[in-house]
């Protein structure tokens, strides 16, 4: 959406005291939506029933978050986002995209692990997933506060590769642990059968 200079200056004039950054034209209030999801994910290993709330969480666009919120300057937040300079909007939107993907990937992995009764994978995945998602939130926050140089193309590629390795590595570790436990159980049963021969 293009915006003329007069409209932009009108928006900037309304920003003081609004909790919208006067440089990036973005607001940290949006990050509450992501923080809510990651806090629920962090509680799942100890409170599996909470996973229903994780499942109910859905990504929201910046605009929709504010339109649905009680944020006092919600209309201004939406207008300011539309007018935000690309130097801030682009890395901000990418950080949010990566955070959303981290949350939904983690949710899908936990769902599969719960269905398989694999608590080991959940316990292994959640701390690393939390670190990854919170890193994305921190990057988005840095952009909001006027630092656009935190998410280069190389950095994006590195983050995406690290996340995929984390996701597959933790789930594989859980599966391997389950197989080892089954092998131990099988060996124990075999020994019990042998011992029974001498009873």
Q: Are 24 and 87 in contact (CB under 8 A)?
A: no
Number of other CB atoms surrounding residue 74 within 10 Å: 17
| pLDDT at 167 (0 to 100) | 86
What are residue 27's DSSP bridge partners?
Answer: 20
Q: Reply yes or no on whether the pLDDT at 123 is more than 70.
A: yes
| pLDDT at 192 (0 to 100) | 57
The tens digit of pLDDT for each residue in 164-180 reads: 998 888 765 555 444 44
Distance CA 175, CA 100 (A): 25
The chain-wide mean pLDDT, for the chain, equals: 87
Distance CA 12, CA 171 (A): 47
| pLDDT at 174 (0 to 100) | 53
**Exposed, middle or buried: residue 65 (CB in 10 Å: 0-12, 13-18, 19+)?**
buried
Lowest mean pLDDT among 7-21, 129-143, 150-164, 173-187: 173-187
The tens digit of pLDDT for each residue in 4-51 reads: 677 888 899 999 989 999 999 999 999 999 999 999 999 999 999 999
What are residue 20's DSSP bridge partners?
Answer: 27
pTM here is: 0.83
**Exposed, middle or buried: residue 128 (CB in 10 Å: 0-12, 13-18, 19+)?**
middle
């Amino acid at each position: 959406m293009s915006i003329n200079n007069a409209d932009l200056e009108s928006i900037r004039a309304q920003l003081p005291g609004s909790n919208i950054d006067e440089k990036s034209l973005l607001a940290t209030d949006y990050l509450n939506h992501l923080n809510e999801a990651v806090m629920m994910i962090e509680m799942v290993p100890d409170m599996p029933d909470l996973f229903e709330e994780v499942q109910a969480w859905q990504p929201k666009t910046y605009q929709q978050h504010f339109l649905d919120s009680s944020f006092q300057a919600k209309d201004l937040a939406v207008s300011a986002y539309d007018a935000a300079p690309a130097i801030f909007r682009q890395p901000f939107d990418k950080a949010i995209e990566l955070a959303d993907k981290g949350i939904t990937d983690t949710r899908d992995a936990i769902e599969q692990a719960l269905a398989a009764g694999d608590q080991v994978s959940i316990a292994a995945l959640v701390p690393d997933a939390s670190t990854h998602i919170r890193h994305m939130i921190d990057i988005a926050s840095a952009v909001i506060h006027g630092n656009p140089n935190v998410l280069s193309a190389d950095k994006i590629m590195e983050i995406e590769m690290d996340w995929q390795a984390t996701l597959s590595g933790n789930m594989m570790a859980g599966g391997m642990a389950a197989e080892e436990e089954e092998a131990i159980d099988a060996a124990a049963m075999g020994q019990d059968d042998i011992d029974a021969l001498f009873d």
